[in-house]
Chain A
Amino acid sequence: MRFDPFEFYRFVLAVAVGAYATFNVISAIWHWRGFVGGSARSAVMFRRYVILHLLRVRIHRFTPDLIAIVTLALVLGLLIARHWR
């Protein structure tokens, strides 16, 4: 079996980026959980305020962006599927 530099680069990139993204997501969830999930009065108020603001978001304002994201995600999914063939 020959050593392939591009295979090695692809593997390292996937591991590094995957680990970085996972760490960031978990860290953000942990941070927000601590910030919002408390039972103190300020935390409860903040939680309600965040819920209120989320409910007041008008999704239709972001429709073009959301459509683009869904399309790009589909394309990426197809490309990844092509790798497994």
Chain B
Amino acid sequence: MGDRATDISPSISELPHDELAAYASELGLSLDGKPARGELLRLIRARQEMLLGLDRSALLDVVVWARRPVRRSASKELLARHIATITKSRFDGLSDRGLHALAKLRGAAAGRNELRSVIEHRLKRQGGWLARARQKRRSIVGAILGRLLEDAPANEEYKFLPENQDGPSLKDSIRDGIEDAGVVGGIARKLRGVADQYVHEKLDEIERRIDRKLDEIDQRLAEWRDREISNRLRLIKITLISAIVVALVSLGYDYVKSRADVGADRPVPTGQATAREPSLPKP
């Protein structure tokens, strides 16, 4: 999530329907089915109003607790987008105000005087037993893989991303620049600042494109993996069916053979044998 790009809130009413739905999801809104455009806009406006009413420090607490990389100066909307991706359900280390903010963003009731444990319990119960089971499974797998892949558990103190402090701000006027560094120096500094910002914007754009491309590659790889697994499973099925056919033939052969052996071993009745013998003409 590029801070610069996401800090700028788009004019939502101009967005096409699918992008509007994606934007709503990014803000943490859970959409049932395919809501109409008007409904989507209403939900997004309501969420934006709710964000205005939330304390920014509380949102920062949540992001720090979940160890999401953000700048200290990140906007509420960007913080809300990060928070929307958090699925953690162990709330150790989260401040009370952060817990209240998280509950509101997840659509759970959280009164000011309510006990912390009650809100935590409500948040944990929110997704149903399936979500809880998934969370439990993830935490177990995470613990196992963490032990397998990481050398030591990371308990470092959270650090915010560095703020942009590269070169003079564009807000500095030419007058200030000339006062500080003379005519040529001041204008050069201003130009350098504009050029730096242009380069940064372009680099951000390139980064976003690369991210998008990497996502596409990842998606294609996932599709290829699923296809490959499906093919392997089909091969296993074919092999099993062939084995069953061979086993059936073999079983049939055993059955026929046992019947034939029984028929050969059975003593022939004498009456029948004499009856079949041709009778000789009596003299």
Contacts and interface: CB of A to CB of B under 8 A. Distances in A.
Nearest to A13: B246
The secondary structure that dominates the A interface is helix
Contacts of A82: 251
A58 B226 CA distance: 9
B211 to A, nearest CB: 17
A75 B237 CA distance: 12
Given A55-B141, A72-B241, A79-B247, A6 B234 contact: no
A68 B233 CA distance: 10
The secondary structure that dominates the B interface is helix
B73 to A, nearest CB: 33
Given A62-B229, A65-B237, A53 B247 contact: no
B225 interface: yes
Interface string A55-78: 111100110011011001101100
Contacts of A4: 257
B243 A61 contact: no
A73 B246 CA distance: 14
Contacts of A6: 253
Contact of A57 (B141, B225, B240, B243): B225
A33 interface: no
Nearest to B248: A79
A79 B240 CA distance: 12
A76 B230 CA distance: 21
Nearest to B254: A83
A80 interface: yes
B233 A76 contact: no
Interface in B220-277: 221-222, 225-226, 229-230, 233-234, 236-237, 240-241, 243-244, 246-248, 250-251, 253-254, 257
B145 interface: yes
Contact of B233 (A13, A66, A80): A66
Contact of B250 (A10, A51, A62): A10
A48 interface: yes
Interface of A: 4, 6, 10, 13, 48, 51, 53, 55-58, 61-62, 65-66, 68-69, 72-73, 75-76, 79-80, 82-83
19 contacts: A4-B257, A48-B149, A53-B222, A55-B141, A55-B145, A62-B230, A62-B233, A65-B234, A66-B233, A68-B237, A69-B240, A72-B241, A73-B240, A76-B240, A79-B248, A79-B251, A82-B251, A83-B247, A83-B254
